Amino acid sequence: MNNYVLDTCAFISGLNATYKGKFYSVPSVIEELPQSSMARLRLLTSIESGHLTIIPSSKKFNDEVIKTSKKLGEIGALSKADLQVIALALELETKGLDPIIITDDYAIQNMAEHLGISYSSLATFGITYEFIWETYCTACYKVYEQECKSIFCQICGTKLKRKVISKQARRSLV
């Protein structure tokens, strides 16, 4: 039986967690969905019917995912829910459950690829390359630490950009 970890865009894309397999998500995914949206209704119905289990990710795995996201330069592109979805999948992976993250989010896919976690997309083709990013200022060219969450340069005030500093072909396909 397959084990799936669903992020917010899985519900936005219309996935119903009623197929064969076990479905998991994290509490912060519920928080990301608008109160009266169809996506939130799908999620809540899946929980009430027993097809979806909501589990908070543990601190140990959250910390590991945050560390990796800083190393890859993805920290600014990932929401709290995104980080926790990856952490939950990593936790399930260590328990031998071989989870598959269902997401169209390229930052989540990039993280999963680097962490050796399987993933699948619903409405996109998914990533072709693994990336490591750098945040920099286009005016004064200051390069910021990977964990920089600011959108503006602290020196000149220009909006910051990200660029790929390393890429390699994807290792695996689900």
SS (H, E, C) 16-45: CCCCCCEEEECHHHHHHCCCCCHHHHHHHH
Same structural domain for residues 82 and 42?
yes
Same structural domain for residues 95 and 13?
yes
Query: How much is the pLDDT for 164?
Result: 79
Same structural domain for residues 52 and 87?
yes
Same structural domain for residues 148 and 77?
no
Same structural domain for residues 104 and 155?
no
Query: How much is the pLDDT for 64?
Result: 96
Domain carrying residue 137? 129-169
Query: How much is the pLDDT for 173?
Result: 46
Question: How many structural domains are present in the chain?
Answer: 2
Comparison of pLDDT for 3 and 160, the residue scoring more: 3
Write the CB contacts of 92 (distance below 8 Å, at least 6 apart in sequence).
3, 5, 24, 98, 99
**pTM passes above 0.85:** no
Same structural domain for residues 110 and 144?
no
Same structural domain for residues 113 and 133?
no
Write the CB contacts of 158 (distance below 8 Å, at least 6 apart in sequence).
137, 138, 139, 140, 152
Average pLDDT score over the chain: 87
- pLDDT for residue 126 is more than 70: no
Instruction: Select the highest-mean-pLDDT range: 16-20, 67-71, 159-163.
Output: 67-71
* Domain-located, residue 174: no
Same structural domain for residues 30 and 113?
yes
